[in-house]
Structure 1
Amino acid sequence: MIDLLKSNGITSFFTSLVSSAAQNDTSGEIGVSSLIDTWIVVRELEEDLTKKRIRGIFIVKSRGTGHDSDVHKLILSDDGINLMPMDSESTGIANKEKKVGKNVSEGQKLTKQDKGE
């Protein structure tokens, strides 16, 4: 089905729910990885000091593109979707300013204009 959609120029978005117990099981990933161009993972993480649960997002692979593979905070709020650098409390390393994409730097809110709407 994925090949049929690709051959017709149809952009597709697939999701997979994985239980927290199976997050490190990669047995089914090999077949999927060869079929898709971009693989993005969203996981629940725990901040080291506060033990607060947060969402982390990272790109496993993105065929034919330069991309950042670092984990970033994913914040979903009434203001929209925000990507923030993981701070030293979450990762043990200092903040550093990086580009997430061509038009969106970390911490910048994705507006409708940024999303091409």
Structure 2
Amino acid sequence: MRHEVTEADTAVTMGSGDVPVLSTPRLIAWMEAATMRAAAPFTEAGRTTVGTALRVEHVRATRVGGWVDVFAEPPVLAGRRLTFRVRAVDGSGRLVAAGEIDRAIVDRARFLEATTDEGKPGRTS
């Protein structure tokens, strides 16, 4: 999927750096969204996937106004774990980032039941 880099996507705005270029957190979010779309064929009703690990190297800066195409290859399936190879390339075809993102297939309701309110304001243990 193609993404244009805006001021909202920069390291300055995201708080992850002090230069006005595509931030790593935004790039990771775009990559995770690509894995969500690629995981859809592996989930059935009542199931979803959640991110569990990422190993991504961001190797090239992209200026505001530039764009990147983000790709997630079909995953390697190991039980309930999906491992995606991901990459992003800029408008010149140069590699911006590459790596792997793992997702786990979970039962949506059971997953939400297992979440905790700990740390929520006003809650005590």
TM-score if structure 2 supplies the norm length? 0.27
Q: Which entry has the higher C-alpha Rg, 1 or 2?
A: 2
Larger RCO, structures 1/2 (Cα 8 Å, 6+ apart): 2
Q: Which has the higher strand share?
A: 2
Q: Which has the higher helix share?
A: 2
